[in-house]
Amino acid sequence: MKIGVLSQFPELYSTRRLVEACESRGHEALVINPINCYMNINSVKPSIHLAGAEVPQLDAVIPRIHTSVTFYGCAVVRQFEMLGVFAANDSISIARSRDKLRALQLLSRKGIGMPITGFANKPHDIPDLINMVGGPPLVIKLLEGTQGIGVVLAETRKAAESVIEAFLGLKANIMVQEFIKEANGSDIRCFVVGDKVVAAMKRQGPDGDFRSNLHLGGHGEKVRITPQERKTAVAAVKAMGLSVAGVDILRSNRGPLVLEVNSAPGIEGIEQATGIQVAEPIVEYIEKMVAARKANHQVIA
């Protein structure tokens, strides 16, 4: 097969590992920067161009769309879908997962465990908003934040009111969430491919930081997850409509709680922490899905 890895950063570990996994299984891999693509949208012969030439026909693409270019990146994935190319994660599902508020609403609709979350627009909603999530300490998050940036722990009511007022005064979109004290600054990252958790690691934040992101100095280690955590991770991915995703889970007194579903999870941290190769199962999944599509088309024909 000819597989496109949609990534702005060919030098990144995740991109290189996906290329290696494709080639090790006998496929041709092309790294394509989605931002440099431009599209011919018509009803006869739509196409995608790059550097003055039409992108060759692909069997599948693996989207690695950066959060800063979600809108255009999803448009490029959608164009590939129009051309009959299989996408490991489709454009609609990527867009769903990137909208943090919508993602939580989808998890809520499916009855998947999650921290109590409040969302408001007007400053006079603040006192009730704080009470809604159980009072301080509580976590305040920018909807547009990534990798732990734009996440604040407010330990008192006064601090919570001040931070919320400041964010709302800047016209920022924020969420307010209950603080899960028993998590002790750690979470579980489950790497899901299809309907399986192929690897899981525990991420622990540095001393004094409640955020466990590896980019902020946290460290990861292999962990054995419970059947309930495995079920929760797979259910969260299905709720988004994704096929390849990282699910961040907090261990709470009331069971696993989903913090976030990431449609372009990093590969380096989890492979190094667990010793498990996660790029290969992605390519295996693509092989299975492309073969099933071809078989289905033959039956229809």
Say if residue 123's pLDDT is above 60.
yes
Long-range contacts of 268-272 (CB under 8 A, 24+ apart): 268/13, 268/14, 268/17, 269/189, 269/201, 269/203, 269/214, 269/220, 270/189, 270/191, 270/199, 270/201, 270/220, 270/246, 271/17, 271/199, 272/220
**What integer is the mean pLDDT of 122-139?**
88
Name which of 50-54, 129-133, 293-297 the model is least confident about: 293-297
Say if residue 141's pLDDT is above 60.
yes
- For residue 34, give the nearest of 53, 55, 14 by alpha carbon: 55
**What integer is the mean pLDDT of 15-27?**
97
Contacts of 283 (CB under 8 A, 6+ apart): 3, 18, 21, 22, 25, 27
pLDDT at residue 57, rounded to an integer: 93
Say if residue 209's pLDDT is above 70.
no
Q: Find out whether 178 is annotated in a ligand binding site.
A: yes
Q: What is the mean pLDDT of the chain?
A: 91
Q: Find out whether 262 is annotated in a ligand binding site.
A: yes
Q: What is the pLDDT of residues 91-107, one digit of tens each?
A: 999 999 999 889 999 99
pLDDT at residue 168, rounded to an integer: 84
Q: Find out whether 11 is annotated in a ligand binding site.
A: no
Q: Find out whether 260 is annotated in a ligand binding site.
A: yes
Q: Find out whether 211 is annotated in a ligand binding site.
A: yes
**What integer is the mean pLDDT of 149-164?**
89
Higher pLDDT, 174 or 196: 196
pLDDT at residue 301, rounded to an integer: 40
Say if residue 154's pLDDT is above 80.
yes
- For residue 269, give the nearest of 246, 242, 244 by alpha carbon: 246
Higher pLDDT, 301 or 267: 267
Confidence of residue 206 (pLDDT cuts 50, 70, 90): low
Higher pLDDT, 266 or 220: 266
Indicate the length of the chain as a whole number. Answer: 301
Q: What is the pLDDT of residues 237-273, one digit of tens each?
A: 999 999 999 999 999 999 999 999 999 999 999 999 9
Question: Over pLDDT 70: what percentage of the chain?
Answer: 92
pLDDT at residue 207, rounded to an integer: 63
Q: How many CB atoms lie within 10 A of CB 82?
A: 14
Q: Find out whether 212 is annotated in a ligand binding site.
A: yes
Q: Find out whether 17 is annotated in a ligand binding site.
A: no
3-state secondary structure of 111: coil
Say if residue 300's pLDDT is above 50.
no
pLDDT at residue 248, rounded to an integer: 96
**What integer is the mean pLDDT of 135-145?**
85
Higher pLDDT, 83 or 204: 83
Using the CB atoms, write b or e for 33-63: b if 16+ within 10 Å. ebeebebeeeeeeeebeeeeeebeebbbbbb
Say if residue 208's pLDDT is above 90.
no
Q: Find out whether 9 is annotated in a ligand binding site.
A: no
Q: Find out whether 42 is annotated in a ligand binding site.
A: no
Give the ranges where the chain is alpha helix by DSSP (H): 13-24, 70-82, 91-98, 100-109, 126-132, 157-169, 227-240, 268-274, 279-300
Question: Over pLDDT 90: what percentage of the chain?
Answer: 74
**What integer is the mean pLDDT of 181-196?**
93
Say if residue 189's pLDDT is above 70.
yes
Eight-class DSSP state of 133: T
Name which of 51-55, 144-148, 219-223 the model is least confident about: 144-148
pLDDT at residue 79, rounded to an integer: 97
Q: Which domains does the chain have, with CATH numbers?
A: 2-92 (3.40.50.20), 117-179 (3.30.1490.20), 182-281 (3.30.470.20)
Main-chain dihedrals φ then ψ at residue 167, nearest 5 degrees: -65, -45
**What integer is the mean pLDDT of 221-237?**
96
